[in-house]
Amino acid sequence: MMCPKCAGKTSVIGSVGGLVRERLRRCTKCGYVFPTIEAIKFDVFWKEYLRDISEINKKDFEKRDKQDG
């Protein structure tokens, strides 16, 4: 991640864990300190949705198998 002030290189100086990870970064060039957030892109609801979709597809395949045979 680059510095928002001078686009210089930054290094992590601290972090707070959890579902959302917060990091404190410091620019090696100008010394500017800023926080960043790292979060899970696909949440639990999205997983549930994908599971439901795959269940529906499975049923559809089973139906098709019976029709063919």
20 near Zn ion (CB under 5 A): no
Residues forming beta bridges with residue 38, ordered by sequence position: 21
The residues, ordered by sequence, that sit 6+ positions from 6 with a Cβ below 8 Å of its Cβ are: 27, 29, 30, 32
Q: Which is nearer to Zn ion, 20 or 35 (CB)?
A: 35
Q: Which two tokens stand for residue 6?
A: 């001078």
- CB of 34 vs Zn ion, minimal distance in Å: 9
32 near Zn ion (CB under 5 A): yes
3-state secondary structure of 43: coil
Among 6, 12, 16, 20, binds Zn ion (CB under 5 A): 6
- CB of 10 vs Zn ion, minimal distance in Å: 7
Size of the site for Zn ion (CB under 5 A): 8
Q: Which two tokens stand for residue 19?
A: 């579902």
